[in-house]
Amino acid sequence: MNSLIRLIYTFVLAIIAPFYLLSLFKKKEGKPCVGSRWTEHFGFTPPLSAHKDQEIIWIHAVSVGETISVIPFIKQLNIDFPEKRIIITTTTPTGAEQAQKISGIAEHRYMPLDFPFAIRGFIRSIRPSHLIIMETELWPNLLYIAKNNHIKISIINARLSEKSYHNYLKVKPLINFCLYHIDQIYCQHREDSDRFHLLGAQTSQLSVTGSLKYDIEISEEIKKQSADLRNKIGARRPVWIAASTHIGEDELILENHKQILEEFPDALLILVPRHPERFNSVYELCVKEGLTTQRRTQEDTHGQPYQVYLGDTMGEMLILIGAADICVMGGSFIGKTVGGHNVLEPASLGIPTITGPSYYNFRDITLTLQQSGAVIILTHANEISSSVLSLLTNPERMRTMSSQARNLVIENSGALTKTINMLFHP
């Protein structure tokens, strides 16, 4: 039965894979590309620069968000176990770009497609002893072949939303096959653990460690760069940021900014599109809307006060958020296609945050922050300007939201240490 399940799954994957690869390998302006490393997706993986007897820990993070979240974990793992060699795999080139930032402690390779020959080729080259998967990536051939090669398999920071749970129920035999080959699942919350149990995971497989996302690393260097940026763009002017915006949101954000400018003519919007291939088109949109716009990647040609500051770089979100008074989180105002982004980043910096009605990917975190008074949830994008103006004219409320945000992050931190201890000191 299990062989039949894998056979059907692999057949379906073979049909889908060409379309996926076309999208993955297609060159897009402003976006890193896989380039000559495309063969790694088929298991032709260069070996690591590790000593022959050195234990290799394999950590998989799909794309940008997971990679950024797992970097503090990798750094701590390297401190605690310097004798182990760490490899990080990502599926996307944008994830690879983030992984290169820790190349000194973790070598990067592309994750092979979930074909048996590709997975076997990767394992033969890398020879890992432990596979640690960030969040919930269940690939049947990967799990089956890794287990047959005596590789321990753990999922960390695991989450399973109500929506994902019901989707998985539709392919429950395949999910049960996957769960059977996993050693441990370290869940963010009790609700996640309960849903995994309902899907078929054994109680002995499940633990609750909290969310690694609360353990956000805010270095003194980031704080300094935020302060320097704020001085550059205007220390005394009101500044709000629209972080990780998607197609369809930028027009809404700019319209709200025009309304804010009517009340605060010197107000500045830091606009940060989620995907780098959109940087140029969003810049053109700002200009078309008649707003004086300065790109972060270009020399300041306007002098203050420009009206929009376009964050057209990767990996600097914390710096940009830290330079603002208020954060509006993108991906939450365009129906249910995205499901919001991580509001813990502004919370960790003590920045009052506003999100739209679609935040299902971060539901627990968002509601927890709302209940503490650190996040405002809107029902529609046309409420953004009034909410931002309400905060700008109420400094005491902003200070209260800032304090509550920081306190909540501090109170919920510690998942990183707990996860490492349970992984390596059970």
Among 29, 40, 55, 66, which one carries the catalytic annotation? 66
Measured CA to CA, the distance from residue 210 to residue 189 in angstroms comes to 6
The H or E element that residue 48 is part of is: none
**191 is a catalytic site residue:** no
CA atoms within a 13 Å half-sphere pointing along the CA-CB vector of 148? 12
Left if phi > 0, otherwise alpha if psi is -120 to 50, otherwise beta: which for 268? beta
Torsion, Cα 218 348 280 295, to 10 degrees, reads -70
The answer to whether 268 and 308 have CB atoms below 8 angstroms apart is yes
Q: Tokens 């995994």 map to which residue?
A: 196
Give 384's contacts (C-beta < 8 A, 6+ positions apart).
252, 253, 256, 328, 333, 354, 378
The rounded Cα 79 to chain-centroid distance in angstroms is 23
DSSP 8-class letter at 366? H
Q: Tokens 């208020």 map to which residue?
A: 326
Helix (H, G, I), strand (E, B) or coil at 393: coil
**Do the strands 85-90 and 152-158 form a parallel or antiparallel pair, or are they unpaired?**
unpaired
DSSP 8-class letter at 26? S
The answer to whether 112 and 140 have CB atoms below 8 angstroms apart is no
**Catalytic (active-site) positions:** 66
